[in-house]
Amino acid sequence: MIALSLDEIAAAVGGSLRLRSTDATSATLVDGTVTTDSREIAPGDVFFAKRGEFDDGHRFAPAAADQGAALLVVEHELDLEVPQIVVEDSVVALGALATDVVARVRAHGDLKIVGVTGSNGKTTTKNLLRAVLEHVGPTVAARASYNNEVGGPITMLALAHDTKFLVAEMGASGVGEIARLVRMARPDIGIVLKVGLAHAGEFGGIEQTVRAKSEMVTDLLPTDVAVLNLDDPRVAPMAGLTEARVVTFGLGSAADVRADDLVVHARGTEFTVHVPGGESARVHFGVLGEHHVMNALAAVAASVELGVALADVVAALEQVTLAERWRMQVMGGRDDVTVINDAYNASPDSMSAAIKTLAQVKAPGTRTIAVLGEMSELGEFSGEEHDRIGLLAVRLGISQLIVVGPGARRLHITAINEGSWDGESAYVETADEAYDLVVASAQPGDTVLVKSSNSAGLRHLGDRLGEWFS
């Protein structure tokens, strides 16, 4: 975090400063990392004691103090000899501090901010943008999927006065959450990737999901840029909801930034990218999966708008071989068995894309194995969407389907009911059973996909299989 006095921080968060019996004064400067996790505290850092659904961060404040925290932001004063700022709501205070810091950095530099949202692809697009922009100037981007009311502000608080780019991933589980993050960061460029059924159960339906994602662009200024997926019928109409200049991306000829001549193989995807002005380039993209081309196009569109030359954008994209751990991560290799671990999260769109990729990348004469777990947070859509994935696996000719856990069992039943399989779909209760089945049945040359929502825990199964076949 940029250096601020204790008084300045208290004013930013609307809190009351309690110096306790320390050597600190109201003018004491603090410039450490801001976190809500006491395990991450180092000397000089700031700890926000956040109340959670199952625990209370105030319980861990003593540990933060012992590890050298310079400041505690709390909802009630604690008997600890560390400066404290008492606030009504620590999460609201965290957002207020992020808003203040972003404004200060903007006022004294040439910071440009890109906001990224969508039902799928946020983290990949954020990572691609970071890979491009860090070659141009100091860049801050979220680690992992820090994109909610806590992770978003913590990312913003990592800004320094010389930061040139902030890439802010913005997720939500309800209407209004993206709007709050947008008000904190005030993006110069707002990207909407896709609106699908991911978390539709939490949002209360697809219409509410559309409304929430559109918050990325509704408050943009005429001098800003809205980067929209022209291929998504729920995203494209958002052009009418913003005063910003609109730049579209997609695979169709009408998109401002588009890709054609796609070639998908086990080492990634090749495509030709076209940008406004008639310039084009061939891209050898090492991230597995045709669906990631759309994320790359969004990154290209934003980067070009920020003044990065297309050749430099392409060179940076071609250096990226992994979107993020557990996202289309290629492992294995022994006996030519390839393991694709894509079990960080799953929605109907990303599950379909992963299975299609599995079918596309297999070598002639080899087999495919799809180990699939539950797609969570789909609400009323859960049954029919698991049905759809079961049908897709059959129709794409996946050699062996292994369905894991009660939440995904309907997928297995649907595959059987399709009527064309005889034992090609197996159901197991646990990841350990799935591991034993894959190890026992895999043949040289097989390609194995592991895919599920995070809550199903299959990402660790993917790691185990990757290590076994390494």
Report whether 404 contacts 452 (CB < 8 A): yes
Which residue, among 257, 282, 253, 287, has the nearest Cα to 269 in the 3D structure? 287
- Write the DSSP assignment of 81-111 as a string of letters: SS-EEE-S-HHHHHHHHHHHHHHHHHHTS--
Amino acid found at 227: V
Which residue, among 187, 65, 60, 14, has the nearest Cα to 116 in the 3D structure? 187
Report whether 120 belongs to an annotated binding site: yes
Report whether 272 belongs to an annotated binding site: no
Amino acid found at 391: L
Report whether 463 contacts 341 (CB < 8 A): yes
- Write the DSSP assignment of 215-251 as a string of letters: HHHHT--TTSEEEEETT-TTTGGGGGG-SSEEEEEES
User: What's the per-residue H, E or C state across 273-342?
Assistant: EECCCCCEEEEEECCCCCCHHHHHHHHHHHHHHCCCCHHHHHHHHCCCCCCECCECEEEECHHHCEEEEC
Report whether 122 belongs to an annotated binding site: yes
Report whether 289 belongs to an annotated binding site: no
Which residue, among 212, 223, 156, has the nearest Cα to 188 in the 3D structure? 223
| 45 phi-psi bin (left φ>0, alpha ψ -120 to 50, beta other) | beta
What's the sign of the alpha-carbon dihedral 430, 54, 202, 209?
negative
Report whether 119 belongs to an annotated binding site: yes
Binding-site positions for ATP: 118-124
Binding-site positions: 118-124
